[in-house]
Structure 1
Amino acid sequence: MKKLAVIYHSAHGHTEHIATHVAHGAKSVSNTEVHLLKAEHFVNSPDELVKFDGYLLGSPTYLGGVSSQFKAFMDATGRLWRTQQLKGKLAAGFTVSSLPAGDKQSTLMSMFVFCMQHGMLWAGNPFLPEQHTGVPYEEAVNRLGSWSGLMAQAGHSTSAESFASGDIKTARMFGKNFAETLHRISCRTAETHLETLHDS
């Protein structure tokens, strides 16, 4: 059983909506325990992160970066960085803004650098945009064309569910792919460990 945490901040419910679909996709992989948790939860208890095998990180994009609440979560992990307690764990990122671009790449890059400083491994969003195969744009997987992480567009509606169906489909596939990758890495690590023991 692998324990996975979907850690997010959401001011208006949009990022939370995507987070639930990411978690749903991850839960579809057998032997995966998925926890949907707000970033604020870890500000005063960052040590709880250690019990998870992987992290799916989500934040809205505000002025080209993560929200202040999500940044507070990142900053709270300082003592874990000093002891490299998150080294080798798998991570990925997702973000939401109201525009197709909205400088969401900057948000994903800040998450990536955060994870690299902790010595983590990074999983991207390995799906070709389906609109190039004739799927209607709003229904297409990875319609926004992001491979470094998951991007979703909330639109200007106040509804937390105002997403194109393609973004929802992508979120579920993103979560499923992450969980599958986590299991593959874990299996390979175990095989390597056994080979090392055998050789010694």
Structure 2
Amino acid sequence: MTSSTTRVAIVYHSGYGHTAKQAQAVARGAASVDGVESLLVSVDDIDQHWTMLEDVDGIIFGAPTYMGSASAQFKGFMDATSRNVFAKGGKWANKVAAGFTNSASRSGDKLATLQQIAVFAAQHGMHWINLGLPPGHNNSKSTEDTLNRHGFFLGAAAQSDADVSAEVAPPPADLRTAEHLGARVARVAQQLAAGRRALALKEAA
């Protein structure tokens, strides 16, 4: 890693492995951008990573949607940031942020989870990055095998049948959508970091 490397962390919770698979796809997408390092962080291990998260350029948050909300474990992480981040001077302010979620139902009220995560990012003064894709499956000639097949705009959404394992779900289209989000956030984080370096050089001249 060089001083110009852009670092993007993917902080997630997964109850049954499906959201972990989605998180891995987000991380692949971020790492596919030249000069970007992606870091996967499970909220189960979050206490080992608070300091590292202060130094990254962006954080992409992910959680399964349970009963119309982010999982209790992810909400526990969110609450823990009040003392580990917010109370310590807003260490995440001006980083880029984005979100993803997964549920067994096609809708499953996933939008509520993405909105919850977006508000959480705003509370930390972060810059929210949307999915940046049009709806992928909304006419008679489109298919399920398209990016953003569920038609979400705020973040990346995936659907995993409740009776199948993470070995077969989420389906490839949802994983490619997750990769797209990771790459989009990585590029924006990289651009923002480059702009800050350019401004610093200009001010120092």
TM-score of the aligned structures, taking structure 2 as reference length: 0.89
Question: Are residues 133 and 182 of structure 1, via their aligned partners in 2, closer, same or farther at CA, if it must alter by over 3 Å?
Answer: farther
Amino acid at match of 1:186: A
2:53 corresponding residue in structure 1: 49
Q: Does 1:137 align with 2:143?
A: yes
Q: Give how far 1:156 is off.
A: 2.5
1:74 corresponding residue in structure 2: 78
Q: Does 1:10 align with 2:14?
A: yes
Secondary structure, in 3 states, of the residue corresponding to 2:131? coil
Is the Cα–Cα contact under 8 Å of residues 138 and 164 in structure 1 kept in the other structure?
no
Secondary structure, in 3 states, of the residue corresponding to 2:197? helix
**Gaps spanning 5+ residues in structure 2: where?**
none
Q: What are the superposed Cα offsets for residues 119-172 of structure 1, whole Å, 9 maximum, x if unpaired?
A: 111111001123358764221111111111111111223311322322121111
Is the Cα–Cα contact under 8 Å of residues 43 and 73 in structure 1 kept in the other structure?
no
**Is 35-44 or 60-69 further displaced after alignment?**
35-44
Q: What are the superposed Cα offsets for residues 88-120 of structure 1, whole Å, 9 maximum, x if unpaired?
A: 111100000011111111101111111111111
1:104 to 92, 110, 124: 110
Whole-Å separation in 1 of the counterparts to 2:140 and 2:203: 49
Q: Does 1:88 align with 2:94?
A: yes
TM-score of the aligned structures, taking structure 1 as reference length: 0.91
RMSD: 1.8
Paired positions, count: 198
Q: Give how far 1:43 is off.
A: 4.4
**Is 85-94 or 74-83 further displaced after alignment?**
74-83
Whole-Å separation in 2 of the counterparts to 1:173 and 1:188: 23
**Gaps spanning 5+ residues in structure 1: where?**
none
Q: Give how far 1:71 is off.
A: 0.9
